[in-house]
Amino acid sequence: MTTNEPRHTQLLAAASAGTLYDPDTDDVVQAELAANREAAAREAQRIAARADELQALRELGTLEQTETRYGDEAVRDELTGRAGGYVQADVDAWLAHALAAHLGHYRDPAAREAATGLLPPPVLAHAALLAEFARLVPGGRADELAFAARLATTEPEAADDLAALLARAPSGAS
């Protein structure tokens, strides 16, 4: 048997004529499927535990002090499914701030790039606005920028356009 051939081709070549391949009886396939199910269950448990942690931190008012981690985008989805919009807005703002400021796992350019495919457009637009406002108005307070989340949530494309326009503006004056 050639090792470049698919497993089922190898098995059929070694079997008697007329034998049909059945993945349900292939021990190797079944072991791989079981391993995949176990990995998915572990990942779901990790996401649920992190969601519990973030929800507790949010309730304590300390979410902003927590650094993002790899996979928090999936945790956002879990929290949204659990608690709905009132938690989602807080978590979205936290993720947008971390993305804009390159905090937590977003220090890594690859994580920031991956976020563009994992986070919804309003969060990405919010992050883009926050990044530009931070560049133009160093030391700006979060309460002064609360409108950025509202704009990004209601009009993400307009927020992206505004961020692109602001990116062309010179940096803030001293």
8 A C-beta contact, residue 153 and residue 121: no
Report the b/e string of 107-143 with b at 16+ CB within 10 A. Answer: eeeebbeebeebbbebbbbbbbbbbbbbeeeeeeeee
State residue 4's pLDDT score. 67
Give the helix/strand (H/E) hosting 115.
helix 109-118
Q: Which pair of tokens denotes residue 96?
A: 């947008």
Strand blocks (E) in the chain: none
pLDDT tens track for 32-76? 888 889 988 999 999 999 999 999 999 999 998 999 999 999 999
Question: To 10 degrees, what angle do helices 72-83 and 85-101 make?
Answer: 160
Q: Can you tell me which residue has the tokens 């949530």? A: 153
Q: Which pair of tokens denotes residue 136?
A: 């133009």
State residue 57's pLDDT score. 93
- Higher-confidence residue: 158 or 110? 110
% pLDDT > 90, the chain: 44
Q: Which pair of tokens denotes residue 137?
A: 């108005």
pLDDT tens track for 130-163? 999 888 888 877 778 888 888 888 888 988 889 9
Give the helix/strand (H/E) hosting 94.
helix 85-101
Q: Using the predicted structure, report yes or no on whether residue 174 has a pLDDT greater than 60.
A: no
Query: Any idea where the domains of the chain sit in the sequence?
Result: 20-167
State residue 171's pLDDT score. 76
Q: Using the predicted structure, report yes or no on whether residue 84 has a pLDDT greater than 70.
A: no
State residue 1's pLDDT score. 47
